[in-house]
A and B are shown apart, each in its own frame.
Chain A
Amino acid sequence: MARATRTILEFDKDSVPLFEKLRKVLRGEKGDLTNKEAFMIAVSWGVHFNVRADSIKKSGTGPRLEYLSESDNALLAAAHFAFAKSPEGLLDLNAIHSSAELFAEGGIRLLAEEMSKPGNFPDSFAAAVFEVIAGMGPLPVTEG
């Protein structure tokens, strides 16, 4: 597997204020969201709605890789797999990270649009999450 050549996952330069807004509007366990939490949410939105930017303008701002947990990395791998459709893609860590940035950009645009609508954004956000939860079905029985 190729080694990571970067230290952060970057927000698009133009989207930095949007991430800032998302951090303030949604609540984390300790108040405002961290960069990493906002980034992971944006990625998941991009993946779920299959919206991935073609490119991003580097901003130098974003979550540091060292803050990503094993689970975060697994989710980012799943995100990249959703795009690459091939397990070979998982061998390229840089590609996984780039893919995450592009999905994050796609996701933050969708979230920004939602945030700009009248009404309670956290409620519509929660409604989208609950819709997915409702469609998850029963817990798969794992063997072994």
Chain B
Amino acid sequence: MKISRIGIRNFRQHRDIDLDLSDVRGNFTVIRGLNGAGKTNLLKAITWCVTGDLGRSEPRHNPSSLVSHGAISETLVGESVTLTVELELDFGGEERAEVTRSSTFSRVEEGLIPNSANLVINRHEANRGWQKEPEPDLWLDRQLPRRFSHYFLFDGEQLEKFFKETEARYVKEAVLEIAQIDNLERMVDRLQQTAGDLTKSVASQRQGDAGMTLESTYKELEQREEKLKEDVAKKRAEKAENENAIDEAKSRLGDVAAIQSELKRLDSLEISANLAHERSADASNEFYSWTTSVAPYMMMFSAVQALENEIEDARGRKELPPAYDPDSLKELLKEGVCVCGAKIGKGSDGHSHIQKLVEDFSALSEIGDALRNAEGPLSRLRGRFFDQRDKAEILGKARTERAKEASDADAKFNNLKKKLSDHDDQEIAVIGQKFENAVEGAKSIERDLSRLERDLEDTKVARVKLQSEIEAAGAKDAKARTKLHELGFTKEVLAQSQTLFDELKNRVREDVAANLDREFQKMIWKKNAFEPVEIDEDYRVKVVNKLGFENREGLSAGETACLAFAFALTLSRVAGVRYPMVVDSPLGRLSGEVKKSVAEVLSNFLVSDNDQESAQLLMLVTDEEYDESVSSALAGQKPLLFDISFDQESGEAALKESKNG
């Protein structure tokens, strides 16, 4: 079975979507988009079309909540608005079907009022052409039974719930449905009812009060048993609900733990921010203090230069000696050595030149003296401050960087503070209380359930005992013998039916378990890590590790995903129909090698190993999920890739085939 076209009108953010998957590439389609783009609602639209509800992730919904806001705002009061989801199903050959589910609402001031709901199915068969299906609900339920559709249309984020103990009833429903033995179960129920009626009939044959008493006692026991069955069922549902509440509270408490850890992080960010500010202040102080210390020289640089020029000019005016001290020059002349170290003989040009210089400057002017006094310090200042110019850049840069670090640290601190500002200690206390109440409630539910189950068993035993008494009494009564004969026959049929049902049920359960184990072990990358997967008599899926410990609750997210895919594949195999699988965020909780491995599992899911029949997989993923490793793991299957986006302005989702597909 393949979904070859999806058409959606006015379903939440999908105002007008038409997705053609008829091409062979449509067997593997990836729809990629950000959170909130409309992926999950695409899954819900398909689920709604097939089942009339939104699946287990949104079990109760207000029908008018399905209508897109855009469509509502465009509909005037008094007018009507219709949402429609159409699926075209391809069964191979010429066998096809168009499934159209629609709901019409009237627009009133307050909102929408449901008007009508329709399911129309047109089927195409070879030699018959297109025909309208007279029983669309029945037909659809036969094709993809509602009782296991959630194993094919599901939210990957909910996978861990698939095989929880409280979900065993869904596993049972799916297994019985897939083997089509649920009718047999109903027949056994009916036979039990008939046996009861016959027993009452036999009792009523007894004359007088004794007969009436027997009949009414039996009826009472029957009613009591029925009532207890209902109570047990209710209590089991209550237990499941309570366990869900515990899980939810646990998960919220997990969030609380995360918040508390974030609060600790906030403290450490505050310390980091303070340290960054201290470092920034130190860098600023160093910068300011350096600036202050160099300011006098730097600001008077031009004046200093002017004085230095004057000194040079004074040297030209011979008011100032050369850079060499005249006394030292005189010493050198005495030794006949030049300032460069060369020998200069007396009377040579060089010797005469230096001697003349020394004579010229021997009597310095008072001005020259003053300039000479300034020359040395100015020259030293110049050297020092020019050397320090590089420091200006270093200090300025350090100051800017430290300031940026402080500002970044502030931003980190403030962002987290803002994020955590919504958290409320009161709310945490309430969640904690709810958790404790639910745990306490679980004990009381367990006690009640045990009591009810004991009562039910006792009542059943009492009824069966009374039935024997009635039969014994009836045997003495000629009138009752006919009914007694019928009762005996019914009981025999009932016993055989029960045996047949139990045998079939067990065989199917074991068959499903064996298939599930085969698929799971094939998918799982940890070879020889688990004992064969079992489905026990209460339809609890059991995964035991090689150490002999029940490990289903301890399976990793990747292993849980494999178990779910293996179960879906098993249902397909047992049913002999490759159902299309639509999965939202199958890899969202996975990372690294595990993500890649599960992607490969999904890729293998597409390939049927026993025939050429192809399966269909429609994956709804985020960019993070569909990364390079996943893309390469699935590349061999050449997926049809679409990008889904949400336009804030129009409030509509748009689908576009990706060029990178």
Binding site for B on A (CB under 8 A): 1, 26-29, 33, 37, 40-41, 43-45, 47-48, 70-75, 77-79, 81-82, 87-88, 90-91, 122, 125-126, 128-130, 132-133, 136, 139-140, 142-144
Query: Once the chains bind, are B304 and A75 in contact (CB under 8 Å)?
Result: yes
Task: List, in ascending order, chain B residues with CB within 8 A of A71's CB.
Answer: 297, 377, 380-381
Q: What is the bound-complex CA distance between A45 and B298, given in angstroms?
A: 10
Query: Once the chains bind, are B287 and A28 in contact (CB under 8 Å)?
Result: no
Contacting residues of chain B (203-261) with chain A, CB-CB under 8 angstroms: none
Q: Interface readout for B561-578 with A: 1 if CB under 8 Å, 0 if not?
A: 000000000000000000
Q: What is the bound-complex CA distance between A48 and B298, given in angstroms?
A: 9
Query: Once the chains bind, are B295 and A77 in contact (CB under 8 Å)?
Result: no
Q: What is the bound-complex CA distance between A33 and B379, given in angstroms?
A: 26
Q: What is the bound-complex CA distance between A37 and B371, given in angstroms?
A: 24
20 A-B pairs whose Cβ atoms sit less than 8 Å apart in the complex: A27-B285, A28-B292, A29-B289, A41-B296, A44-B298, A44-B300, A47-B299, A48-B299, A75-B300, A75-B304, A78-B300, A78-B303, A87-B310, A87-B314, A90-B374, A125-B292, A126-B287, A129-B291, A129-B299, A136-B389
Query: Once the chains bind, are B299 and A132 in contact (CB under 8 Å)?
Result: yes
Task: List, in ascending order, chain A residues with CB within 8 A of B380's CB.
Answer: 71
Task: List, in ascending order, chain A residues with CB within 8 A of B289's CB.
Answer: 27-29
Contacting residues of chain B (276-292) with chain A, CB-CB under 8 angstroms: 285, 287-289, 291-292
Cβ of B370 under 8 Å from chain A: yes
Question: Nearest residue in B to A81 (C-beta to C-beta)?
Answer: B307
Task: List, in ascending order, chain A residues with CB within 8 A of B319's CB.
Answer: 87
Q: Given the interface contacts A27-B288, A27-B289, A28-B289, does A40 sit within 8 Å of B296 by beta carbon? A: yes
Q: Identify B367's interface contact among A70, A73, A91, CB under 8 A.
A: A91
Task: List, in ascending order, chain B residues with CB within 8 A of A126's CB.
Answer: 287-288, 291
Q: What is the bound-complex CA distance between A77 and B372, given in angstroms?
A: 12
Shortest CB–CB separation between residue B599 and chain A, in angstroms?
56
Query: Once the chains bind, are A129 and B370 in contact (CB under 8 Å)?
Result: no
Q: Identify B389's interface contact among A33, A44, A75, A133, CB under 8 A.
A: A133
Task: List, in ascending order, chain A residues with CB within 8 A of B378's CB.
Answer: 74, 78
Cβ of B293 under 8 Å from chain A: yes
Query: Once the chains bind, are A87 and B304 in contact (CB under 8 Å)?
Result: no
Query: Once the chains bind, are A91 and B300 in contact (CB under 8 Å)?
Result: no
Query: Once the chains bind, are B296 and A43 in contact (CB under 8 Å)?
Result: yes
Task: List, in ascending order, chain A residues with CB within 8 A of B314's CB.
Answer: 87
Query: Once the chains bind, are B370 and A75 in contact (CB under 8 Å)?
Result: no
Cβ of B302 under 8 Å from chain A: yes
Q: Given the interface contacts A26-B288, A126-B287, A133-B392, does A47 sit within 8 Å of B300 by beta carbon? A: yes
Q: What is the bound-complex CA distance between A122 and B289, given in angstroms?
A: 10
Question: Nearest residue in B to A44 (C-beta to C-beta)?
Answer: B299
Q: What is the bound-complex CA distance between A33 and B292, given in angstroms?
A: 9
Query: Once the chains bind, are B367 and A125 in contact (CB under 8 Å)?
Result: no
Task: List, in ascending order, chain B residues with CB within 8 A of A90's CB.
Answer: 367, 370-371, 374
Task: List, in ascending order, chain A residues with CB within 8 A of B370's CB.
Answer: 1, 77, 87, 90-91
Q: Given the interface contacts A70-B377, A122-B288, A129-B294, does A79 sit within 8 Å of B367 by beta carbon? A: no
Q: Given the interface contacts A1-B370, A78-B304, A129-B298, does A41 sit within 8 Å of B292 by beta carbon? A: yes
Task: List, in ascending order, chain B residues with CB within 8 A of A140's CB.
Answer: 382
Q: What is the bound-complex CA distance between A33 and B296, given in angstroms?
A: 13
Q: What is the bound-complex CA distance between A44 and B304, given in angstroms?
A: 11
Shortest CB–CB separation between residue A39 and chain B, in angstroms?
9
Cβ of B396 under 8 Å from chain A: yes
Q: Identify B307's interface contact among A44, A72, A73, A78, CB under 8 A.
A: A78
Q: A1-B370, A82-B302, A132-B301 provided; 5 other pairs, C-beta below 8 A?
A: A71-B381, A78-B306, A91-B366, A125-B295, A144-B323
Give the number of residues in B that approach A within 8 Å (Cβ atoms).
44
Q: What is the bound-complex CA distance between A88 and B365, given in angstroms?
A: 11
Q: What is the bound-complex CA distance between A143 and B322, given in angstroms?
A: 11
Cβ of B613 under 8 Å from chain A: no
Q: What is the bound-complex CA distance between A139 and B389, given in angstroms?
A: 10
Q: Given the interface contacts A81-B303, A91-B366, does A74 sit within 8 Å of B296 by beta carbon? A: no
Q: What is the bound-complex CA distance between A41 and B306, given in angstroms?
A: 19
Query: Once the chains bind, are B310 and A75 in contact (CB under 8 Å)?
Result: no
Query: Once the chains bind, are B297 and A75 in contact (CB under 8 Å)?
Result: yes
Task: List, in ascending order, chain A residues with CB within 8 A of B322's CB.
Answer: 144
Cβ of B369 under 8 Å from chain A: yes
Q: Interface readout for B365-404 with A: 1 if CB under 8 Å, 0 if not?
A: 0110111011011111110001001001000100000000
Q: Interface readout for B318-343 with A: 1 if CB under 8 Å, 0 if not?
A: 01001110000000000000000000
Shortest CB–CB separation between residue B69 and chain A, in angstroms?
49
Shortest CB–CB separation between residue A28 and chain B, in angstroms?
6
Shortest CB–CB separation between residue A20 and chain B, in angstroms?
16
Q: Identify A77's interface contact among B307, B366, B392, CB under 8 A.
A: B307
Q: What is the bound-complex CA distance between A73 and B366, given in angstroms?
A: 17
Task: List, in ascending order, chain B residues with CB within 8 A of A88's CB.
Answer: 367
Shortest CB–CB separation between residue A11 and chain B, in angstroms?
16
Shortest CB–CB separation between residue A48 and chain B, in angstroms?
4
Q: Given the interface contacts A26-B288, A82-B306, does A132 sit within 8 Å of B374 by beta carbon? A: no
Question: Nearest residue in A to B297 (C-beta to C-beta)?
Answer: A75
Q: Given the interface contacts A71-B377, A133-B392, A139-B386, does A28 sit within 8 Å of B293 by beta carbon? A: yes
Q: What is the bound-complex CA distance between A73 and B294, given in angstroms?
A: 15
Query: Once the chains bind, are B389 and A1 in contact (CB under 8 Å)?
Result: no
Query: Once the chains bind, are A130 and B374 in contact (CB under 8 Å)?
Result: no
Task: List, in ascending order, chain A residues with CB within 8 A of B369's CB.
Answer: 1
Task: List, in ascending order, chain B residues with CB within 8 A of A74's CB.
Answer: 374, 377-378, 381
Top 10 A-B pairs ranked by shortest CB distance? A44-B299, A74-B377, A82-B303, A90-B370, A48-B299, A40-B296, A144-B323, A44-B296, A78-B307, A139-B386
Q: Given the interface contacts A28-B293, A78-B304, A91-B367, does A45 sit within 8 Å of B288 by beta carbon? A: no
Q: What is the bound-complex CA distance between A37 and B378, given in angstroms?
A: 18
Task: List, in ascending order, chain A residues with CB within 8 A of B291's CB.
Answer: 122, 125-126, 129-130
Task: List, in ascending order, chain B residues with CB within 8 A of A48's CB.
Answer: 299-300, 302-303
Question: Nearest residue in A to B324 (C-beta to C-beta)?
Answer: A144
Task: List, in ascending order, chain A residues with CB within 8 A of B386's CB.
Answer: 136, 139
Q: What is the bound-complex CA distance between A91 and B374, given in angstroms?
A: 11
